Structure 1
C-alpha cells in the first residue's frame, strides 16, 4: 500500500510539472506569434524613384 502512495505522489508531481511546462511554452509561442504579426503589419518602405 505504501508503494502505491509513493507512485501516485510521483505521478501527481510529474503531471503538475508537465502542466507548468506546457503553459510556459504556450506563452512563449504566443509572444513569438504576436511579434510576427506586428512585423507583418508594418508597411514596407516605398521607393522614392518613379516606376512605370
Structure 2
C-alpha cells in the first residue's frame, strides 16, 4: 500500500469535514438571525392593531 496517498486522502477528508462543520454553524447562525428578523416586524404590526 502507498501510505503517502492514504495519508494525503485522510488529511483532505479531515479538512473537508472541518470546513463543512464550520460552514454549517455559520449558516445556522445566519438562519436564526433571519428568522428573528422576519418575526419582529410581524409582532410590531400585531401590537399596533391592539
TM-score range, shorter chain: 0.7 to 0.9
Query: Higher Cα Rg: structure 1 or 2?
Result: 1
Looking at secondary structure, tell me which structure has more helix per residue: 2
Cα RMSD, aligned residues only:
1.5
Aligned length: 44
TM-score, length basis structure 2: 0.79
Distance 1:19 1:11 in 2: 12
- 4+ aligned runs moved over 2 Å, structure 1: 43-46
TM-score, length basis structure 1: 0.76
